[in-house]
Structure 1
Amino acid sequence: MTWLVEKNRSWAEWAVTRILRVGPVPRHLAVIMDGNRRFARKEHQNTLTGHTRGFHKLTEVLSWCRDLGINEVTAYAFSIENFKRSKQEVDGLMDLAAEKLAELLEEKEKLSKHGVCIRILGNLTLLPERIQRLGAEAVLTTKNNDKCFLNLAIAYTSREEMSTAVGELCRGVSEGQIQGSDISEELLEKCLYTRGTPDPDLLIRTSGEVRLSDFLLWQSGFACMFFTKVLWPELTIWHLFGAIFYYQRHYHTLAEARRESLNVRQRMVEESDIEVCHTKFGEKVTAEHIAAQSLSRTERTDAFLEDLNKRTVSYLKEVCNKCE
C-alpha cells in the first residue's frame, strides 16, 4: 500500500505509544513539512528527490498517528507562495502530486475499509486541470468515510482562505440568505476551507524555522506549537513522541484558554441577538423575542451553510466532469 503503510514497531516504540495514550493525545495534528530541499542538498540529490522522500515520510507519519490514536492530520503540501519557485521545481511538484493522488485513488477500496476521508484545502482553480480532477475525485470518493481524516493543503494560504470566506459571507448577504447581523466568528469559521473539522491541537514544523508561513492562522489560535530542527524527511517516531509529550505538558493551559474563548464567543452572539431585538422592539424586549431572534438566525445560517456545502460538492463534480 502506498498511502496506508504498515510499519513494524520495536518494543520500545510500542511501550512509549501505550504510555503516551494514557494522557491526552491530540485529536488533530497539523504539520508544516519543511526541509525537503535542504535534505536533497545534504544528500547531493535533486530537489524533486527531496520532495518525494518528504511524501514517503508523510505516509509514515500517518501510520504513527493511527497507532497513537490521532485521527486527523492536516499537511501543508503546497503553498500559493510556492508558485514563485522555479518552473522546473513547480512542474516537478505538480507531477508528483498527480502521481500520488492517482495512487491514492487506486487504493480507494482500502481507504474505505479504513474509513479514511481525504479533503483538499486550497484554491483548486490555481492548479493544473489534472490535479483539480484527481483532487476533486479523491474528495468525492472518500467524503462519506468518517474514521480518520487527511487534509492536504494544496495551493493554500491562510490569508486567501479567510478572504474567500469573507467573500462567501458577502455573497450570502447580497443574495438575502443571511443578514449582516448574522455574521460572527463562528459563521466565518464555518466558511473556511476547514469547515467541519476541529481546530488542530498540535502543530509541528520541522527544519528549525519558527514561523507559520501563512498556514492555518485562524485555526491555530489555541494549538500547541512544536518546532524542531530536524529536516522533514529525517523525522522519526521519537520526534513525534517528543512533540506529544510537549503537548501533554501544556494541555490544561491550552484547554482552559480555548474554553474561555468559546465562552466569550457565545456571549458575543447572545449580545448581538439582544441588540437586534432592541432595534426591532425598543425597550420592550422579552425572553421570547430573544429566543425567536436566535432561532431565526440559526435557521438562516444553517440554510446558508447547507447551500455553501452543496455549491462546493457541485463544483467538485463539475471539475471531475469537465476534466474527463
Structure 2
Amino acid sequence: MSSPTFSFEVFYNVILRWLERLLLAVLASGPMPKHIAFVMDGNRRYAGKKGKPAHEGHYAGFSSLRRNLDVCLRLGIRCVTVYAFAIDNFRRSPVEVETLMNMCEQKLHELCEHGDLLERYGVRLRVLGKTCLLPPNVQAAVNRAEKLTRRNRKATLNVMMPYASREEMTTAMQKVINKTSRGELSIDEISEDELDANMYTNLTRVEPVDILVRTSGVKRFSDFILWQISENVQVYFVDAYWPDFGLRHCIPILLDYQRKIWYQKLFLPQ
C-alpha cells in the first residue's frame, strides 16, 4: 500500500486559513465599527492593467465584494454599504452598461441562493437609489432578492444602485415639501431628523456610517452618501484597486479605528 502523498500547497492553505481565523478573532475582541461603507473603485483600471476587457474587471470586483463582505460579517460588522453603480454610469458605452446590468441580475440571484453568503449570515439585502432607472429584468431581480432576504435580521447589505447623493437629498427634500403641502408637516417641523428619515438609507434603519473606504488611490467622494458621512466618520483612501482589496488592507484600517476609539475613551471627556 502506497503512503499518502504530502502536499505542501494543501498544508500551506490549511495554515493560512487557521491564521486568518486567529487574526479575525483577535481583531473582533476589540471595538468594531457597526457600519462600514465602500466606494468600490478601480475595476476597469484593474482589467486594463491585466490586458483584459472591462467586464472582466467588474466580475473580479464582485468576487472582491463577496470576500470582503464575508470578512466584515465574520468580524460582527452589522451593516455594509457599497457604491455599486452611479446614475452617471449610464453615460458609459451601451455595451458596458448592458454587461453591467446583466451581471447585476445574475449576481443578485447568486447572492440569494440557498445556503449562500446572505442566508448563512442572516443578511438583509437592500438595493437603494433611483431603481426605476434599472432595466425591468434587473428590477425584478432586485425585488426577488429583497423579498427573499427581508426576514434576515442579523446584518444588512446596502447596495447603492443607481445612486447619487445629490439626487437622494433632492428626493428627500421633495418628499418633505410634499408633506407640508398636504398639511402633514408644518414649516417649523422641518428638521435634520425629518430629512434623514426621508433618505434612501433610512429605509434600512441601521447605525450611522463609522468608516468609509475608497479604493484605487482616488481621493474624492464622487457623490456617495454625502449626507450620511457628514459627521463622525473615519475616511480611508487605499491605493489598491477594488478587485485587489482584501484582509491585508482591512487590518490597518480596523486597527487605526480601534486605536482612535480607545483614545477617545481614555483621554476625551464624555
Residue type at the aligned position of 1:225: V
Counterpart among 18, 43, 49 of residue 42 in structure 1: 49
Which entry has the higher C-alpha Rg, 1 or 2?
1
1:53-72 pair list within 5 angstroms: 53-72=60-79
Shift, 1:151, TM fit: 0.6
Q: Tell me if the contact between 2:73 and 2:121 (Cα under 8 Å) persists in the aligned partners.
A: no
Residue of structure 2 equivalent to 1:23: 30
Counterpart among 136, 154, 159 of residue 166 in structure 2: 159
Aligned-residue Cα RMSD (Å) equals: 2.3
Note the residue ranges of structure 2 that are not aligned, 5 or more in a row: 1-12
Q: Tell me if the contact between 1:80 and 1:156 (Cα under 8 Å) persists in the aligned partners.
A: yes
Distance 1:210 1:110, change over 3 A: closer
Q: What do residues 105-163 of structure 1 show as CA deviations (whole Å, max 9, x unaligned)? A: 43388744532100011001111111112112222332221101111000101100010
- Residue 24 of structure 1 aligns to a residue in which SS? coil
Shift, 1:81, TM fit: 1.2
Q: How many angstroms apart in 1 are the aligned matches of 2:210 and 2:69?
A: 16
Q: Detail structure 1 runs of 4+ shifted over 4 Å in the superposition.
A: 252-255
Q: Tell me if the contact between 2:70 and 2:117 (Cα under 8 Å) persists in the aligned partners.
A: no
Q: What do residues 77-105 of structure 1 show as CA deviations (whole Å, max 9, x unaligned)? A: 00011111111111111110011112234
Q: Tell me if the contact between 2:38 and 2:81 (Cα under 8 Å) persists in the aligned partners.
A: yes
Q: Tell me if the contact between 1:108 and 1:142 (Cα under 8 Å) persists in the aligned partners.
A: no
The percent of aligned pairs where both chains have the same amino acid is 39
Counterpart among 242, 249, 263 of residue 232 in structure 1: 242
Q: How many angstroms apart in 2 are the aligned matches of 1:143 and 1:168?
A: 24
Shift, 1:183, TM fit: 1.2
- Residue 117 of structure 1 aligns to a residue in which SS? strand
1:205-216 pair list within 5 angstroms: 205-216=214-225
Residue of structure 2 equivalent to 1:79: 86
- Residue 106 of structure 1 aligns to a residue in which SS? coil
The alignment status of 1:250 with 2:260, answered yes or no, reads yes
Q: What do residues 141-190 of structure 1 show as CA deviations (whole Å, max 9, x unaligned)? A: 32221101111000101100010111111111111222222211011101
Shift, 1:24, TM fit: 1.2
Residue of structure 1 equivalent to 2:142: 135
Residue of structure 2 equivalent to 1:121: 128
- Residue 57 of structure 2 aligns to a residue in which SS? helix
Residue of structure 2 equivalent to 1:92: 99
Q: How many angstroms apart in 1 are the aligned matches of 2:104 and 2:70?
A: 20
Q: How many angstroms apart in 2 are the aligned matches of 1:200 and 1:175?
A: 32
Q: How many angstroms apart in 1 are the aligned matches of 2:258 and 2:88?
A: 33
- Residue 161 of structure 2 aligns to a residue in which SS? strand
Residue of structure 2 equivalent to 1:292: none
The alignment status of 1:197 with 2:206, answered yes or no, reads yes
TM-score between the two structures when normalised by the length of structure 2? 0.86
Distance 1:120 1:41, change over 3 A: same
Q: How many angstroms apart in 1 are the aligned matches of 2:32 and 2:120?
A: 24
Q: How many angstroms apart in 2 are the aligned matches of 1:240 and 1:20?
A: 11
Counterpart among 10, 13, 25 of residue 20 in structure 2: 13
- Residue 156 of structure 1 aligns to a residue in which SS? coil
Count the aligned residue pairs. Answer: 252
Residue type at the aligned position of 1:178: L
Q: Tell me if the contact between 1:224 and 1:250 (Cα under 8 Å) persists in the aligned partners.
A: no
Q: How many angstroms apart in 1 are the aligned matches of 2:185 and 2:119?
A: 36
Q: How many angstroms apart in 2 are the aligned matches of 1:55 and 1:109?
A: 14
Structure number with the higher helix fraction is: 1
TM-score between the two structures when normalised by the length of structure 1? 0.73
